[in-house]
Amino acid sequence: MGRATEVRTVEGVLVRALERFLRHPPGRLSCAGRTDAGVHAWGQVVSFDAEPGLDPWRLQSAVNGALAPEVVVRAADVVEPDFDARRSACWRAYRYTVLNRPVTDPFLARTPGGCPPRSTCGRCGSAPTRSWASTTSPPSAVRDRKARRRPGASSSRAGTISATGVLRYDIRATAFCWQMVRSIVGTLVEVGTGKKRPGELMGILRAKNRS
């Protein structure tokens, strides 16, 4: 979700739909994470302060009536006062999709990235990300230390290239630094396309430097 600005964003349209239903601005809106341009959120948790007596089902129905099919609320519930969508999140997961074939797909044109035809992205496998310093920009790393816990145990998995030529990278952790997942996947794709050697990965991680 992007910040509510003059540009149309998921957060902006959601806030306006909530405001119409509540008849006042929602209080302290918090979301589990934000996405960069070109990244699509399949699932997102959002929390906000509301007056007692709110009917979650009516809220869900009203928001979906105003925003579907672009934005939908799959579930809504009343939670404890100390719940915060961002800081109470148990995990976050990213899936990067790479189209690894010479012919594009009109149904996937807006979502996957692309690799040169006949590249060997599938050989990249998983990255043993023991240090996060090489996968995030310095300002983000400093802000992360001050504001919240560092990313915890993570797991990554590279899907196999199917007959459709689609390669999927699934990465999950308690939290991520700014541009961290994009850096990991981008480096693995460079290995698959021959721009880097597989043996260079450990050196990159040990360097603890984004550059």
Show which residues are catalytic: 36
Q: Residue 28: enclosing H or E segment and its boundaries?
A: strand 27-31
Q: What is the dihedral of CA 24, 87, 33, 139, to 10 degrees?
A: 120
Coil, helix or strand at residue 31 = strand
Q: Count Cα neighbours of 174 within 13 Å in the Cβ-side half-sphere.
A: 10
Coil, helix or strand at residue 113 = strand
Q: How far apart are CA 165 and CA 101, in angstroms?
A: 6
Show the tokens assigned to 7. Answer: 């540009």
Instruction: Dump the DSSP string for 46-111.
Output: EEEE--TT--HHHHHHHHHHHHTTTS--S------TT--TTTT---EEEEEEEE-SSS--TTTTTS
Could you tell me the strand order of the sheet in which 113-114 lies? 113-114, 92-99, 166-173, 155-158
Q: Is the dihedral of CA 62, 68, 71, 72 positive or negative?
A: positive
